[in-house]
Structure 1
Amino acid sequence: MKKIAVLGSTGSIGQSTLSICESHPDRFHPIAFAAGSNLDIVFEQCQRWRPQIVSVATEPLADKLSTRLKQNGLTGIEVVHGTAGTVRVATLPAVDFVVAAIVGVAGLEATYAAVLSGKTVGLANKECLVAAGDLILAAAREHNVDLLPIDSEHNAIHQCLRAGTAAEVKQIWLTASGGPFRNTPLADFDRITPAQALKHPTWVMGQRITIDSATMLNKGLEIIEACRLFNLPPSRVKVTVHPQSTIHSLVEYIDGSILAQISVTDMRLPILYALSWPDRVASDLTFDLAHLSQLDFQTPNFARFPCLRLAYEAAAASQNHCIALNAADEIAVAAFLNGQLSFNGIPRTIERVLALTTSGSPASIPEVLAADLLAREQASELVANSQVFSS
C-alpha cells in the first residue's frame, strides 16, 4: 500500500489522482493534501479520505476549514497553510509518493523538499524542472529519488525509453495537438479572444495551460522539461503537431526504429503508470484501435507559434532564461485573460523579458525564486506601460 501526498488536490490532476486511489484502494491511499482556496472541494476530500494533514492557501482559510471540519465531527486532521504548510504535506514521514500538481512555481519549494526527504515524486508540474531542473535533479541523484513524469508526453517518453539504453536513443519526439488555432490565418491572431483560446480541441485543462497550449508555450516548457528529465540537448528534443492526440510521444532509436506510446486521452492513465511504476496495473482505460484510422503529423511553424521558438532559445541560453520564459508567460497569459493584452502580445512580452535576462544558473531555490520574481516584475511593467502589447 503506497501512502500518497497530493500537492494540488483540488485541481484536475489532483482529483484524477484521487479517482485512481478510489479505483485501486488496495494499492494507493492518500493521507496528505495541499490545496489552494477551494474549501468546498477540499472539505469533501477530507470527508472521503480523512487525511492526516491538509494545507490551504492562507491562515484565514485554514481557520475556516478547521471550524467546518470540527462542526462536522471530522477530528484528527491537522490543518496548515501557505508554503510552509505545503512543505509539511510533501515531507510527511508516512508518505511514500508525492504527486506534485500545483500549477506554476508555487509548488517548487514543496517539490524540492519532497526530493530532499527521499520521497518518490510524480511530476505533473513542468514549471519545477523548467525553473529549477538542475537543483532538483542533483538532489534526486544525491538522495536516490525517482522522478516520474505525469505529463502525458513525458510519461509516454518514459514508457518508450524502457525499450533501450540511453546510448541507443537518437532523439525524442513530443507530440502537440496544435491547439485551436493551428489553421487560423495569422492575420486573425490579434483578434483571438480568451473565450476562443480556452476551447482546446482535445484536453480539458486549467486556464493557463489551455492558453499555453494555444500558443504552444506549453510545448516549449515541455521541451525544457524533457531536456532535464532525459538528459538530452534541445537539438535532440523535437516537436511534431499531431491533431488527433492519440500518439502521446515517440522515441527514435539509432537503428531507425521509432516507438510510440498510444492510449486514451485521459490523465488517469499516466497518473496510474507513475503511481504503480515499475509495475503495470490493470485498468479500464482501454483504447479503441479504430481511432488510429487517421494519423496526421506536421512540422510546427515558428511564425505561427513564436513561443516555441522562444523556448528553444531559452533552453539553449541558460537556466535564468528558462525561469524568465515561464515567469513572463504566466504574467502575459493572466493579462490576456483579463483583456489587457492581445493574443500576439503574449509572445511579444516573453521575448522582451528574455532580452532583458542575463545568463546564469541559480545555486539555490531562493535564488530561483528571486530570478522568477524579477522576470514577473519586468513582464508586469511591460504589460502596464507599452501599448504595443494591447493591439
Structure 2
Amino acid sequence: MKQIAILGSTGSIGTSTLDIIEKYPERFSVAALAAGKNMDAVLEQCLRWRPRVVSVATEELAEKTASRLKQSGLQEVEVVYGTEGTVRVATLPEVDFVVSAIVGVAGLEATYAAVRAGKAIGLANKEALVAAGEILVREARAANVPLLPIDSEHNAVHQCMRAGEKSEVRRIWLTASGGPFRTLPLDRFDSITVEQALRHPTWVMGRRITIDSATMLNKGLEIIEACRLFDLPPSAVKVTIHPQSTVHSLVEYIDGSILAQISVTDMRLPILYAMSYPERVASDLRFDMAALGQLCFEPPDFDRFPCLRLAYEAAEKGGAHCIALNAADEIAVEAFLNKSIPFTGIARTIEEVLEATPEAHPATIQEVLASDKRARELAREALCRAGNAAVSDAR
C-alpha cells in the first residue's frame, strides 16, 4: 500500500489523483494533502480521505479549517499552513510517493524537500523543473530518488524509453496541438482577444496554461523539462505540431525506429502510470482506435510562435535564463489576461527580460527564488515601459 501526499490537492491534477486513489483502494491511500485557499474543497477532501496532515495557504485559513474539522469530529487531522506546511506534507515520514502539482514556483521548496527526504516524486509541475531542474535532478540522482513525470508528453517519453537504453536514443519528439491559432494569419495576432486565446481546441485547463498553449510557451517549458528529465541536449528535443493530440510523444532510436505512445487524453492515465511504476496496472481508460483514422504532423513556425524560439535559447543557456523564461511569462500572461498588453506583447516581454538576464547557475533553492524574483521585477519594468510607450504613441 503506497501512502500518497498530494501538493495541490484541490487542483485538476490533485482531484484526478484522488480519483485514482479511490479506484485502487487496495494500492493507494491518502497520507497528507496540501491545498491553497479553497477551504470548502479542503474540508470536503479531509472528510472523505482523513489525511494525517493538511496544509492550507495562510495561518488564518489554518485556524478556520482546524475549527471546522473539530466541529466535524476530525480533530486528529493536523492543520498547517504556508511553505513550511507544504514542506511538512511532502516530508511526512510515512509518505511513499509525492504528487507535486502546485502551479508555479510555490511548490518548489516542498518538492526539493521531498527529494532530499528520499520520497519518490510524481512531477506535474513544469515550473519546478524549469526553474530548479538542475538542482532537483542532481539531488534526485545522488539520492537515487525517482522523478516520474506526470505531464502527458514526458510521461509518454518515459514509457517509450523503457524499450531501449539511454545511449540508443537519437532524439525525442514532443507533440503539440498548435493551440487555437495554428492557422490564423500572422497579421491578425495583434488583435487576438483573451476570450479567443482561452478557447483551446483539445484540452480544458487553467487560464495560464491555456494561454501558454496558445503561445506555445508551454511546449518551450516542456523542452527544458525533457532536457533535464532525460539528460538530453536541446538539439535532441524536437517539437512537432499534431492537431489530433492522439500521439502524446515519440522517441526515435539510433537504428531509425520510432516509438509513439498513444492513449486517451485523460490525465488519470499518466498519474496512474507514475504512481504504479515500475508496474503497469489494469484500468478502464480505453483508447478508441477509430481516432487513428487521420494523423497529421508538421513543423512549428517560429515566426508564429516566437516563445518556442525563446525557450530553445533559454534551454541552451540554462540556469538563470530558464528561470527568467518562466517568471517573465507568468507576469506577461497575467498582463494579457488583464487586457493590459496584446497577445504579441507576451513574447516581447519575455524576450526583453531574457536579454537583461545575466548568465548564472543558481546553486541553491534560495538562489533560484531570488533569481525568479528579479526576473519578475524585470518583467514588470518591461510592461511599465511598454505601457508608457503606448500612452506616448496615443498622444
TM-score tier (shorter): over 0.9
The residue aligned with 1:339 is 339
Q: What do the CA deviations read for 1:191-246 (whole angstroms, capped 9, x no partner)? A: 11111111111111111111101100000000000000000000000000000000
CA contact (8 A) 1:252 1:259 kept: yes
The residue aligned with 2:26 is 26
Identity of aligned residues (%): 71
The residue aligned with 1:184 is 184
Name whichever of 105-114 and 192-201 sits farther off.
192-201
Name whichever of 147-156 and 312-321 sits farther off.
312-321
Offset at residue 318 of structure 1 (A) = 2.7
The residue aligned with 2:301 is 301
Q: How does 1:227-242 map to 2 (within 5 A)?
A: 227-242=227-242
Structure 1: 4+ residue segments shifted above 2 A? 387-391
The residue aligned with 1:97 is 97
Q: For 1:32, what is the secondary structure of its paired residue?
A: strand
**Are 1:55 and 2:55 matched, yes or no?**
yes
CA contact (8 A) 1:342 1:389 kept: no
CA contact (8 A) 1:341 1:389 kept: no
**1: distance between equivalents of 2:47 and 2:12?**
19
CA contact (8 A) 1:171 1:237 kept: yes
Q: For 2:121, what is the secondary structure of its paired residue?
A: strand
Aligned letter for 2:323? I
CA contact (8 A) 2:176 2:219 kept: yes
Q: For 2:320, what is the secondary structure of its paired residue?
A: helix
Aligned letter for 1:301? D
The residue aligned with 2:141 is 141
Q: How does 1:196-211 map to 2 (within 5 A)?
A: 196-211=196-211
**2: distance between equivalents of 1:136 and 1:230?**
13
Q: For 1:5, what is the secondary structure of its paired residue?
A: strand
Offset at residue 156 of structure 1 (A) = 0.1
**1: distance between equivalents of 2:349 and 2:123?**
28
Q: How does 1:86-165 map to 2 (within 5 A)?
A: 86-165=86-165
Give the 3 Å change call, closer, same or farther, for CA 112–389 of structure 1 in structure 2.
farther
Aligned letter for 1:181? F
The residue aligned with 2:69 is 69
**Are 1:12 and 2:12 matched, yes or no?**
yes
Offset at residue 385 of structure 1 (A) = 2.8
The residue aligned with 2:35 is 35
**1: distance between equivalents of 2:40 and 2:189?**
38
Aligned letter for 1:167? S
CA contact (8 A) 1:246 1:262 kept: yes
Give the 3 Å change call, closer, same or farther, for CA 351–89 of structure 1 in structure 2.
same
Aligned letter for 1:90? A
Aligned letter for 1:384? C
**2: distance between equivalents of 1:318 and 1:72?**
49
The residue aligned with 1:378 is 378
Q: What do the CA deviations read for 1:351-386 (whole angstroms, capped 9, x no partner)? A: 000000000100100000000000001101211232
CA contact (8 A) 1:323 1:372 kept: yes
**1: distance between equivalents of 2:282 and 2:184?**
41
Aligned letter for 1:174? L
**1: distance between equivalents of 2:252 and 2:268?**
26
**1: distance between equivalents of 2:5 and 2:199?**
31
Aligned-residue Cα RMSD (Å) equals 1.1
**2: distance between equivalents of 1:66 and 1:78?**
8
Q: What do the CA deviations read for 1:4-59 (whole angstroms, capped 9, x no partner)? A: 00000000000000000010011011110010111111111001000000001111
The residue aligned with 2:171 is 171
CA contact (8 A) 2:66 2:75 kept: no
Aligned letter for 1:357? T
The residue aligned with 1:280 is 280
CA contact (8 A) 1:13 1:101 kept: yes
Q: For 1:260, what is the secondary structure of its paired residue?
A: strand
Name whichever of 36-45 and 88-97 sits farther off.
36-45
**Are 1:78 and 2:72 matched, yes or no?**
no
Q: For 1:297, what is the secondary structure of its paired residue?
A: coil
Q: For 2:294, what is the secondary structure of its paired residue?
A: coil
Aligned residues: 391
Q: What do the CA deviations read for 1:321-379 (whole angstroms, capped 9, x no partner)? A: 00000000000011111111111000000000000000010010000000000000110
The residue aligned with 2:329 is 329
**2: distance between equivalents of 1:101 and 1:356?**
30
Offset at residue 389 of structure 1 (A) = 7.6
Aligned letter for 1:298? E
**2: distance between equivalents of 1:309 and 1:90?**
35
**1: distance between equivalents of 2:162 and 2:123?**
18
Aligned letter for 1:348? R
The residue aligned with 2:261 is 261
Aligned letter for 2:106? A
CA contact (8 A) 1:348 1:389 kept: no
Offset at residue 143 of structure 1 (A) = 1.2
Name whichever of 357-366 and 68-77 sits farther off.
68-77
Q: For 1:386, what is the secondary structure of its paired residue?
A: helix
Aligned letter for 1:25? P
Query: How high is the TM-score relative to the length of structure 1?
Result: 0.99
Query: How high is the TM-score relative to the length of structure 2?
Result: 0.98
**2: distance between equivalents of 1:145 and 1:284?**
30
CA contact (8 A) 1:152 1:248 kept: yes
